[in-house]
Structures are given as structure tokens and as C-alpha cells.
Structure 1
């Protein structure tokens, strides 16, 4: 597709964009809306309609400002100890050697524990976050009728939980690290919309990191020379995380809708026609990344895994911090990691491993 039809209209009408430059420019193209047009889906019921990723303009700017405060400035100093504690708890004392399914052992549990503690979710409720996340992931891949339709879905259940969670936090006057601006957020949005967006933060704030960590270990297990290079120079850990984000972008596609008839690379696209930006394909474009299928610790860190422009991922710093922390802990614990068995998820929107068994040698 990149070579023959970098802007390709499928027989069912959707337009797919694959090249790095085209996807990059489309992400910042203000004539491409983030919001599905009226009539694209049934009368909205789903809590997803209020999510940050489906807002734009002044509403998006205000919501983003309220949610991103803990991630910027001095926020990292508050987040880092929470990340370090979770990594130590799950990798520090555990007996992890021999053949281990690392997805079951820690690649999912670490990001779950971190996001729950940053949002003040009690440990006994963590299992519910996992139970909701899988079905939400599948709904996002199924299409907008399922995501935004009039039938209740797991995103509604998760949002209901967080509405009550925020109510209790406000009553107790307790503000967890990612909710320091909670009173202002609720004043601006109301409790219901605020709860829905904190549910979004809980889902997006850990789900993609789960897959980043799994894919990182997958590639390093297949390339022992790269593992040895990292053990010799831990300063390359951030490069390894960035290269994993490029090669196995957790978010594989982002959708846009033209606000008016427009053209991409000379291809005419009608108003409201669905445009699918294939992030995964763009990040493997050999015109941008020579030998693009190779995992390369020396490659420049720039890629589109977190998006670009006004909607760039607000949790980027946290995801990268978690990836580096887990990798540094693994490097200090195991001399070698070898691939034994693995299973990729059946999902075209989110790239990640359902299972990854590695032979861990201390």
C-alpha cells in the first residue's frame, strides 16, 4: 500500500493512509476532525463520546489542560516513585527464572498497578480495571456503531465506577497524584463527564504501556546482541523503548473525518468520509526509517506512536518512564532472555501480545 497506493480508498468507502509524511501531516491537518459526524453512529449513549480523544477545539483544549497538569513540569518527580515501587514489588522479590509467561507475571500487572495507584483506585478494585479493559479494547476495534451505539458497554460500566470514585475522593478531600486538579475538572465538566474521562485515562494510561513492555521484551529476546549492548550501557534503555514504540506501535490506527471536501496527496476525499491513518505502517516506512523492519538501538527516537499535534498522547512521559523502569529492572535481574512461545492479540487497532513465554536466566 505504501508503494502503490499510499492513499487508498477501500471498496467499502474508507480511505487508508500509510506513508510517514502523509500520516504525519494528516495528524495536524485541522480540516480532519477527531469527532465522528452526526449520523455516522446511532444516537450516542456510550461514555466514549465524552472521551478526550473524541473532542476538539475549545472543549478539547480545556479538557486536555485539566487532565495533563500532573504529567508536565514537576509532575514527573511525583510519578517516578510510584513507578519504581510497582516495578520493585512485581520484579524485585518474585521468583522469576526459567520459562515464564511475562505477560501473566508482570507486563500487564505493572502498568495496571501504577495507573490504579496514581488514580487512587484501591488494590482490591484493580481486577475490575483488567476485566473492563479487554472488552473496551475489542469494542474500539469493532467500529463506531459498537463504540457509540445505544447499548450499554464496558466503557459505561467503567465510567460509572469512576464517577462514584471521584465523588468519594471529593467528599474525603483526597487527591491522588493524577487527580490533583480534580475539583477544577469537576467544576468545568460536571461529575459525569469528569468520571468518564478519568475512566479513559485509566484505560489508555495503562493498556498501551502493557503492550509496549511486552513488545520490548519480545524483540530483545530475539536479539541477544541488543540485550548484551543494553547490559553494557543502560543509557540505551530509552532508545530501546523508542524503537519498540516505532516498530510495534501500540496504537496502530487513528481515525479522522474531513469537515469539508479535501485532498490528500491528490486523492479527493468527501466531507465526513472516514480516513484511517495507519500509524503502524507509517512507523515502518523505509523512506523515513532505513531498514525499517530492523530493531535498531542507534536509530533516532522520533516516531508517530504517540500521535502528533494537539492530540498527542498526554501520558507519553509516563509510558516511557514505565518502559525504561521495567527494562532497567530486567537488565539487572537476568543475564539473558530467550524466546520460547508467544501469541499476538487478534486486534487491528492495538498491537500487543496476549502471551509471551521467555526463558529467563539470572
Structure 2
């Protein structure tokens, strides 16, 4: 249909790899922030509580505020940080796979998504932020419900669910930031508070920014990584012989993870707006035109990845799953580490792992989510 396809609701779908890459990396392509929303003919379309809340987070900010907040975080998951997190992630994987083995033995099968995939990211991020395990189920529920507002065309009922989840998230993380300020410890959130206090803002502004950052980093890292982990297992089990081959060639684990990211990206769509009159894929687009970057379509552009619909462990192709430019995913390195730790242990411990059925998915367009993946060994 072309690299740029008119969307039925207005704007354009961007499907070609190079065109998507141009939008993601281009400095004149902006996130649809508050200023853009206010210039629209129907600004009330963006008045939903969850939409407004997300518009204050990093994913919807532009320079200079985006630059300011991102710099305050530093390099969240640099080499040293990931090295320090590695042993605990490996230990978490071991514990989760012990639980998986117990469920399979007791019940004749288990839901890999629920037992393993959803638990590893919340364990990792929760510990990193110093959140107690007793809160993990509540955080997961809030996250699952909040993302409805980030769909392209959410229904009123979805927005209502998302609104309640947004209020719950606000209450939880506002309280968390307040407690960390009062304790003034050496944890990550307390460090962010001190960083922003030193920038000269008042306490209320600081706490609001730290709340936005903490909430966003948490919810952005859970469903996406969980879906990556489930998709990885499904794609490797779906074709006879693929699991055994990778067991015998573990040097290709990293390549397998990259092919999963290319073939089945956890986020399918991301939206940008033209910051000035421009031309994209040969089409003139006036300022403020919205485009939707279609990650899945870009990753399967045959001009970039030949035979794109084939899942190929030896492809060594390229993908845009983690975005690009100023909004490149903060947690890309962490997601890869979690996938690597899980896949390495799975291959060693479950040589006869099989999928009992195809995965079940949440009915969404933007945030791809595997809700169930039954396995047996």
C-alpha cells in the first residue's frame, strides 16, 4: 500500500523501514504533547484523565523539557548497572523456573506467561526501585488496565477502566515518592528527588516530576518485556527442531532475541506529529500532521529484511522495535538482559519444552500483550 498510507481517522500510517526511521530520528518530528493537543480543532478529544496523565511523561514530552528530564535520569541501565543487576536477575529466573517445573509436574502443564513472563520484569524493576514484592500484583493490575488509554482509538469503556487505573497509579506512586522524600535514604527514587531539588524547583514541582518519572519507567518496562519473553518462547517452540537447535548452538541466543524483537515487536504503533511543514516518502505534510509509526510493518519491510515473514535465527537483520532518536527506549539493555538470562536457563533446564496451544492475546492494537501461553515439558 506504500510507505505512507492515509489513516481512516486522519493522519497517516508509516509502514516503510526508512520512512519510520526518518520519523523516529528526525528532530522535526515531535511527540503529540500538550501544545499540539491544544492546537487541534477538537482538543477535548485529549481530555481523558489517563491521556492527560501520560502526556506529562517522557514519551509525550519534547525538548527542552524532555531533554531536561532525561538528563536527570542519567544512563539508567549502563554497563556497570546491568552487570550489578545480572546475578539477581539470574537468581530470579532460577526461582521462577523452579515454580514453572512444579506447576507442570502438579497440573500437567502451566501458563508460562503468568508464571514466568509477567513475574520477571516486575521482580527486576520492583527491586531496582525498592518496592516490596507484596505490591507487585497491584502494580501489574494497574499497568494492564492503564494502557487502554494509549490505544489509537480507545472506547469509552476502555477509557473508564484506564481512568480508574490512572487514579490508582497516581495514588500509589505519589505516596511512594512522599515516603522516599521523608526517609531521605540512598535508594534510587530518593536520589532523583535530591537531583531535582538541586535544580532549584520547589518541592511540589520536584515531587510531581519524580512521580511522573517513577510511574512511567515502571509501567513502560512491564508489559513490553513480559510480551517479549512469551513471544520468544512461542516462536522458538512453534517450529519443530528450532528449540533443540538453539540448545546445541547457544552462541546464537542473542541473535534469536533480536529476531524475536524484529518479528513480533511488543509495541506495534507509535505516534508523532510534524513540527514543521515537511515531505515524507514523497508526500507533503503540513505542520501538526500526525503520523503513526508501524513498527511491525517497518521490521518486515523486504527492502531492509529479505524474506521478512520468515522467522530466521541466523538473520542478523535490523529492527526499530526500541524506537530511535531522543525517545529511544531507556530499558532496551535491561530487556535484552532479562531475555538472555531466561532463554539461557530455559534451554538448559527444559530440553523437551513444548507449547500446548498458541498464545492468547489481549484485544489491542498498540500494546501487544500475551495473556496466556500454555506449556508442558
TM-score, normalisation: structure 1: 0.91
Distance of aligned partners of 1:273 and 1:145 in 2 relative to their CA distance in 1, 3 Å threshold: farther
Matches of 1:145 and 1:261 in 2, distance apart?
A: 32
Instruction: Say whether 1:6 aligns with 2:22.
Output: no
Larger mean CA deviation between 196-205 and 166-175 belongs to 166-175
Report deviation, 1:152.
4.4
Counterpart residue number, 2:178? 167
Distance of aligned partners of 1:22 and 1:178 in 2 relative to their CA distance in 1, 3 Å threshold: farther
Q: Which of 68, 71, 78 is residue 77 of structure 2 equivalent to?
A: 71
Instruction: Say whether 1:225 aligns with 2:241.
Output: yes
Report deviation, 1:173.
2.9
Larger mean CA deviation between 64-73 and 320-329 belongs to 64-73
Structure 1: stretches of 5+ with no match in the other structure: none
Report deviation, 1:326.
0.9
Query: Does the aligned pair in 2 maintain the 1:87–1:326 contact within 8 Å?
Result: yes
Q: How does 1:222-301 map to 2 (within 5 A)?
A: 222-300=238-316
RMSD value, Cα = 2.4
Q: How does 1:1-362 map to 2 (within 5 A)?
A: 1=1, 5-36=2-33, 37-39=36-38, 40=40, 41-42=43-44, 46-92=52-98, 94-97=101-104, 98-143=108-153, 152-176=163-187, 180-185=191-196, 187-188=198-199, 190-300=206-316, 302-341=318-357, 342-360=359-377
Query: Does the aligned pair in 1 maintain the 2:181–2:190 contact within 8 Å?
Result: no
Distance of aligned partners of 1:322 and 1:59 in 2 relative to their CA distance in 1, 3 Å threshold: same
Query: Does the aligned pair in 2 maintain the 1:69–1:181 contact within 8 Å?
Result: no
Report deviation, 1:191.
0.2
Matches of 2:361 and 2:53 in 1, distance apart?
A: 28
Q: Could you list the per-position Cα deviations for residues 142-163 of structure 1 after superposition, in whole angstroms to 9, with x for gaps in the alignment?
A: 54898999x9442342133112
Q: Secondary structure at the match of 2:356?
A: strand
Larger mean CA deviation between 132-141 and 39-48 belongs to 39-48
Structure 2: stretches of 5+ with no match in the other structure: 200-204
Distance of aligned partners of 1:65 and 1:269 in 2 relative to their CA distance in 1, 3 Å threshold: same
Distance of aligned partners of 1:195 and 1:277 in 2 relative to their CA distance in 1, 3 Å threshold: same
Matches of 2:295 and 2:30 in 1, distance apart?
A: 17
